[in-house]
Every structure is written in C-alpha cells, then in structure tokens.
Structure 1
Amino acid sequence: GKSKEETGRSLFVPKRLPTNIKKSAFDAVQSLTDAAKDLSKNVMDRNLGDDGTVSQWNSYIEVDFQSLWETEEQ
C-alpha cells in the first residue's frame, strides 16, 4: 500500500460500491476524523500548540480505513 506520506488525508473507497454506501462510509470516517481533530487539537493546543501534529494524527485514521478496504478486496 501507499505510505502515510503519499496517502496524506485522502480517503479511498472502492469504486464498485454503490454511491449511497460510499457516501455513508465517507460520512462515517469524516465524523470520526472531525471528532479526532477536535480532540487532538484540544490536546495539542495545550501541550504543543502544533497544528501540524493534528493533521498528521488525523491522517493515521484515514490510512487505517484505506487498508481495511484493501484487505477486503484481496
């Protein structure tokens, strides 16, 4: 698979899924990343004040989501 750097904050959803399922999956992940962003930003603002760390932290969640789909397709 792609490295975390290559993937960045993009979200991979298989094209073969119906659009409504893709949207539900995307919305679910977006909700998770929004919540994680709020949580990690609060923590980082207090501890480091580094928004770059927040972005990096969010990207890990989306990479995990991508690998989950890739495993299912094999």
Structure 2
Amino acid sequence: MNRQVAIALMGLTFASLAACSATMASDRSYSLGRGVVNYDELRRAGDKCKADGGVLQAKQDGGDPAQLSNYTCVIPKGD
C-alpha cells in the first residue's frame, strides 16, 4: 500500500508541475520570489515588470498575499 501511495503522490506532483508550466503566459513571465511583501518591494518589482513589458498580478490560487511568491510579472507573448 505504501508503494501505491508513493506512486500516486509522484503522479500528482508531475501533474501539478505540468499544469503550472502550462498556465504561464510565456517563458519570460516570472514570479517575484521569496520574502514578505512590503510597499517598497512591490513598487520596485512593479516598475521592473513594467519595464520588461509586463503587468504585476497576484496569483489566483488562494496563496498568501503577504508573500512575494504570490505575485507574478506576466509578460504577454510577443510575435
């Protein structure tokens, strides 16, 4: 039974990674990384994201809005 559980968990992990990579707008989009959100950090990240041609967005999966990892710079695919 433990082997079946391990195989099921591994399958879920691979499915999650595939879904995560499929939902990114492009390979240029990026997460803000680790750390606690503060005004200055979000401002800098937003300015950098805008300069890169993107828009800063909070993830919609119910993550912790106090963590930088909950925010993504979404850069639309170019031609």
- Structure with bigger helix share is 1
For normalisation by structure 2, the TM-score amounts to 0.31
Rg larger for = 2
* Structure with more relative contact order (C-alpha pairs < 8 Å, separation 6 or more): 1
For normalisation by structure 1, the TM-score amounts to 0.33
